[in-house]
Every structure is written in structure tokens, then in C-alpha cells.
Amino acid sequence: MGRLAVGLIGAGKHGRRYTHHIRADVPELALAALCRRDAVRGREQARALGCRFHDDWAALIADPAVEAVIAVVPPTLHPALAAAVAAARKPLLIEKPLAPTAAAAREMVRVLGAAGVPVLMAHTLRWNTVVRAIRERLPSLGPLRALYLNQRFEPSSLAWLDDPRTAGGGIILHTGVHSFDLVRWLTGHEVARVWCRVACADTSRTEDNFVAVLELEGSDALVAVNGSRSTAGRSGLIDVAAAGGQLVGDHALGFAYGVLGLERTPLPLTEPVPTVREALRAFARLVLNGDPPPVTLEDGARAVLIAEACRRAAASHSAVSLEPAT
């Protein structure tokens, strides 16, 4: 494998995880440049990392020293950034949520698809060891009856998350997409229809709590997803009921059990892995080896479509149907 020179747009809370893992764990990637709005802190960061700095993301994408782009910025920037990446014909690793709206996500799929550039969608929970253990065990339990997912956190310190002009939406878009993607990945079914309720506890302009009921295409399984960013605890529950038994795990707390009758048996779990590191390794394999992306742009767009349907369902107090996946 050769070495790929990457440019990172966004060096905030999550972007710094990317700079750390590129340097510490993924020798196939070299950080050629980084971009953020704060030029003083950005130059300092770039100096410490030994890379170039751009205070304009378009300049980073155009930089000939940058062979591939990694985007870890608020999603309202994604559509313009994707168009520039497509025009420059550079591979892209992009954080969730793919886009602020379903229409913008569809357009990104079209533009990046037409350019034929390799793209990896960073739905990072796909690399979580608890999620993987449950997905592996699920088929042995026969028909699925019910799936319940939650993701809960403390209130966020990021002010932009409650500004719809920057965030594009609330917790349904920002955290919900993780769970919507897992519903599709764990069950193998598309979402056909949704119902949803929301609440604002610590936010004022966007919701920070939601619960949604999801109807699947081609499955009678009952699916519910809950997200909260207004609790002092953290969790990522996956609760599965199937004809042949149950699975209960938590991808934030790091446990997973099989349940038969009243007996609870731990599922074998591999060591927890940093999911950003795994996404970066998958990106290196995609670009340098031509491996297929484990999470596609279309997966990202589908999660945004489900999020948008939930937002509309909550606003209209009624069920919202999704267009069938093609």
C-alpha cells in the first residue's frame, strides 16, 4: 500500500480525534493540510502537526498537496464542500449527518456519483464491537419481533448544535442518523413509515429529545428509536427480541448479552476499538486498494431521509411514509 496525503476540514472536538488517529494509528495516511475558521488556532495546530494550514476550505480542496479530503464540520457545509470535492475529483471521507436535508443528500449522491470519486460515509457505530457482536448473533435467533435503540448523552457544550442555520436540525438529524443507520444495518430492511414525538429540554431552537416508531419494508418487527441530549447519563442501548431469544447490549457502556428464559449469557466481545481509527483504515483501503466502502454515500442519504421523515412526523403529529429505496 502507498501513502495517501489527506486534507482535514474541521479540527474541533471530533476533528481532533481524526488528527490523533491519522498520526498515531494509520501509517497509510499522511496529514498534508488542515482547515478551520479560527486561523490563529488553526495555524498553531498545523504547526504542531507539521502540515499546511488553510482558513478557506475551498483552498484546502484545491491544494495540489491534498490527494483526498476528510470533512468533520457542521453538515450545512457538506453540500458545497461535496460539489468542490467532486469538481476536484478527490476521494472523500465525510462525517454524519451526510446533509441537512434529504434533497441536499440526494444531490450530493448525484454529484459525487457522477464524478466517480471514492466516498466513505463515517457512520462510525458500524465499527463498534457491541454493535458488531449483536449483528453477528441476530440471524441465529430467527424472525425478529422487536428492536429498540436509544442513544443518550449530557447536554452539548457546542452552541451551533442549537442553531438550525448551522446544524441543519436537532438531535433527530445529528444523533438519530446513527440509530437509523443501525436499524437498516441490523435488520437488513428499509424503513417505510415513521411516527415521532420530540421535546426541547435544554435547547430552544432545535429538539434535544425524540422518540420514533419505525415501520419496516417487508418485516412485521416493531422498531422504536429514542435519543436524548438532556440527561446526566450516557447510553447506547440495543434491545432485540426475536423468536429464538433476546439480545441486550449497550454500545456506549460496552456490554452485550444473549437472553433465553431468565438466563443471561455474555456475548463474546472483541476489545473495544476507536471507531474513528477504523473509519480511517477503511478509507485508506478504499482509496489505496480499491476495496468497497463498508458504509456508502447512499447509506448516509437514507439515514438523512429517515431523519427528515421523523422531523415531519413530529411537526404534523401524523405518520410519514418514505419513498422506497431504489
Residue numbers at the binding site for ligand NAP (CB under 6 A): 9-15, 35-38, 57, 72-75, 77, 95-96, 122, 124, 158, 174
Distances from the Cα of 289 to the Cαs of 84, 175, 292, in angstroms? 24, 31, 9
Contact 230, 209 (CB under 8 A): yes
Beta carbon nearer to ligand NAP, 123 or 189? 123
Is 60 or 216 the residue whose CB approaches ligand NAP more closely? 60
Give least dist CB 146 to ligand NAP, A.
25
Strand-pairing partners, residue 122, are 95
Contacts of 127 (CB under 8 A, 6+ apart): 273, 275, 278, 279, 282
- The cell numbers describing 231, all together, are 440527561
Nearer CB in complex with ligand NAP: 86/94: 94
Residue nearest to ligand NAP (CB): 12
The whole-angstrom separation of Cα 197 and Cα 212 is 7
For residue 15, the minimal CB distance to ligand NAP (Å) is: 5
Provide, rounded to whole angstroms, the least separation between the CB of residue 134 and ligand NAP.
18
Nearer to ligand NAP by Cβ, of 129 and 189: the residue is: 129
**Nearest distance from residue 1's CB to ligand NAP, in Å?**
25
Coil, strand or helix: which one is 238? strand
Q: State the minimum distance, in angstroms, from the CB of residue 9 to ligand NAP.
A: 6
Residue 318, number of CB atoms within 10 A of its CB: 10
C-beta closer to ligand NAP: residue 91 or 100: 100
Our CB check for ligand NAP shows the closer of 57 and 210 to be 57
Sign of CA dihedral 58, 4, 273, 223: positive
Query: Which residue lies nearer to ligand NAP by CB, 74 or 79?
Result: 74
- Least separation in angstroms between residue 240's CB and ligand NAP is 22
- For β-strands 119-122 and 92-95, DSSP reports them as parallel
Q: DSSP per residue over 141-194, as a string?
A: G-SEEEEEEEEE-PPPS-GGGG-HHHHSSSHHHHTHHHHHHHHHHHH---EEEE
- What minimum distance in Å lies between the beta carbon of 14 and ligand NAP? 3
User: 141: how many CB neighbours lie within 10 A of its CB?
Assistant: 18
